[in-house]
Structure 1
Amino acid sequence: MRADLLRECGVTEAEWQSLPNVGARYAALNPWWGADGNTSLTQSRKSRLLWAGCARTGYVRLPWVYRLMVDVAEQVADGLVPEWTELQTALFCGEEGIWGCGDDVAMRQAAIDRLEARLRDEHGLKPSGDEPPYDSPGQECWEKQWACWAIHGTPPSGRWIGDGRVVSALFSDIFGNSFRAATLGANWLTDTAVAIARQAYESRDFSALPILADALQDAGCDSADVLSHCRDPNAPHVRGCWVVDLVLGKVADRPAHPADGQCPPSPPSAGDGPLVFFDVAPSRSASCRITSSVTCCSSSLT
């Protein structure tokens, strides 16, 4: 978290805590995330992992193309593949084409067929046979949106973020507390602690985090925030978990450097006007207030 940059822009801890929802907090971080003042939150590794983690909550229900989006986004986030390869661009543009068809079933199917043909012909990719079809029962539209946002790096301004409970929980897991930046002593990072964290990260099985807390504490860690985060039985964890990242020395930000002409338009910056995100779909009863360059919206569905 970039609490120092938030403070420089006049955002206090009290104001941060008063922001009405996780969408507002995400938007508040965006213009000021980069360590050099130029890299936005939306270009960071953490942002991709947030949306990939959200999409993984419904991964088994996703069609194969959306599963591929999540997998590729995670590879991009960890620097295993460069930004905006032909595959990443094909996935993003193809998904935009599908969503652009709205409720027109025939147009949507044609867009799906075009994307699958491109993936097959240009990249040798095809479904394995165990994935559900598009628009099958039980699928949630926001799980597909989260997968697309993981590919792009951020939701477009003005979109609601889906199930705010899911996003809020994973936002806390990945970003922690903006105004309580934790550090780990070098002597706490024993071989045992690092091995537990690495296994959790690579396997996406974070059930051993209480054991990680024990290993850190045995090595002298006395950070209540670190230990309680690992031991909280109700806290979900995904790749990007702030404690696991600290143990593994993961870089917080990895700026995007797309090739000319390949990257879709960037989301609005602080100078382009306020970013707007909703925890739920906006309705006629939505009320908004402005905090710095962020529009904070709280909506009740009526």
Structure 2
Amino acid sequence: MTEEKFWRTENDPHALLSALFPTRSEGSVVLQTRKCRHYLLACARRQWNRLPGVCREIVALAEVFAEYPRSEARLRALVAPIAEQLVHSAGDPGDLEEAARALRSAGEEDTPGGVRSRLAPEDQFDVPVVPEPFSETEWRGLASLVYLPFVLNTPPFKWVPRELHATDLLREIYYNPYVFIPFDSDWRTSDTLELARAAYNSRNFGGMPFLADALQEAGCTNSAILDHCRDTNARHVRGCWVVDRILNHG
């Protein structure tokens, strides 16, 4: 089986991630990428209705860090330890209340780079302390999705069980790393940029078919790009490989 077909047909997300991030020599490290962070955050967003309020809030802050990892180093310094502690907790109400208090305390930081200005109003995260009971494996997986975007190097994906990963999200963000898709800079017109930015910033990808039309008007004839935008079954997320190519995101 070719690598291209493997990526297109494999149903085990751990296997796809192992291919995407192969084990290197002992002691070597590879910095976590923006796309990797957005993949983990998309998986976390997919579990949104199951996440306690404090976890939702940390995910929202992780999304800020994913976009600006250099300038938001202090945000990471304040929030990552709180998220990491959740991974090592049992996820019971006391653990969640402790994390919420720590996050509120971090939100009171008045120093440059503090998290106060990034914390959304509490009512946006007002959900039961524990929406539903979790098994130990489920909780560790969910908490890992919340924490791992803050990790500086390529994270241990197997902390998250297969059922909380998603092969469709891997293909949504990475397309097929074994297939080269050319992208002409002439396709970055005012219309395509406006539509791509609107989708990215709002997380509302309902206008993707219009983006396909705009790309076509700009001269794009690539079927992979146009079909991805027009796929009515696709569940687009931040990190979508087509939107990223238009916005020239790394």
User: TM (normalized to structure 1)?
Assistant: 0.65
What's the counterpart of residue 70 of structure 1?
59
Matched, 1:121 2:120: no
Tell me the SS of whatever aligns to 2:159.
Answer: coil
Query: Does the 8 A contact of 2:58 with 2:146 survive in 1?
Result: yes
Q: Which amino acid counterpart does residue 92 of structure 1 have in structure 2?
A: A
AA partner of residue 49 (structure 1): H
Give the count of matched residue pairs: 230
Change (3 A) 1:221 1:158: closer
Q: Is the 8 A contact 1:54 1:167 kept in 2?
A: yes
Which of 115, 122, 131 in structure 1 is aligned with 2:126?
A: 131
For structure 1, list consecutive stretches of 5 or more residues without a partner in the other structure. Answer: 1-10, 252-302
How much has 1:218 moved relative to structure 2? 1.6
Tell me which moved more, 200-209 or 76-85.
76-85
Distance across 1 between alignment mates of 2:80 and 2:105: 17
Deviation at 1:170, TM superposition (A): 1.1
Match of 2:201 in 1: 202
Match of 2:68 in 1: 79
Checking the alignment, whether the CA contact within 8 Å between 1:55 and 1:144 is kept in structure 2 is: no
Q: What residue in structure 1 maps to residue 43 of structure 2? A: 54
Q: Is the 8 A contact 1:49 1:77 kept in 2?
A: yes
Taking the aligned partners of 2:29 and 2:196, their CA distance within structure 1 comes to: 27
How far 1:74 moved relative to its partner?
1.6
1:44 to 1:80, Cα distance in 2 relative to 1, 3 A: closer
2:12 to 21, 45, 50: 21
Q: Which amino acid letter does the alignment assign opposite residue 26 of structure 1?
A: L
Partner of 2:170: 171
Q: In 2, distance between residues paired with 1:39 and 1:239?
A: 26
SS at match of 1:179: coil
Give 1 or 2: higher helix fraction: 2
Q: Which 5+ residue runs of structure 2 have no aligned equivalent?
A: 109-115
Superposition RMSD in Å? 3.0
Aligned to 1:148, the other structure's residue is in SS state: helix
Post-superposition, which runs of at least 4 consecutive aligned residues in structure 1 deviate over 6 A? none
In 1, the alpha carbon distance for the partners of 2:241 and 2:107 equals: 34
Kindly tell me: are residues 97 and 16 of structure 1, through their superposed partners in 2, closer, same or farther at Cα, counting changes over 3 Å? same
Q: Deviations over 1:111-143 (max 9, x none)?
A: 434433332234326871452133223877444
Map of 2:210 onto structure 1: 211
**Does 237-246 or 58-67 show the bigger shift?**
58-67
- The normalised TM-score by structure 2 is 0.78
The residue aligned with 1:30 is: 21
What do the CA deviations read for 1:64-94 (whole angstroms, capped 9, x no partner)? 3212222222222222763542x42343322
Work out whether residues 55 and 146 of structure 1, in 8 Å CA contact, stay in contact via their aligned partners in 2: yes
Alignment-mate amino acid for residue 44 of structure 2: A
**Cα–Cα, structure 1 residues 52 and 161, in superposed 2: closer, same or farther, change >3 Å?**
same
Match of 1:284 in 2: none
The aligned residue for residue 5 of structure 1 is none
Distance (Å, rounded) in 1 between the aligned partners of 2:43 and 2:101 = 27
- Distance across 2 between alignment mates of 1:227 and 1:191: 18
CA distance in structure 1 between the aligned counterparts of 2:179 and 2:81, rounded to whole angstroms: 39
Does the 8 Å CA contact 1:213/1:227 hold for their aligned counterparts? yes
Q: Tell me, what secondary structure is at the counterpart of 1:73?
A: helix
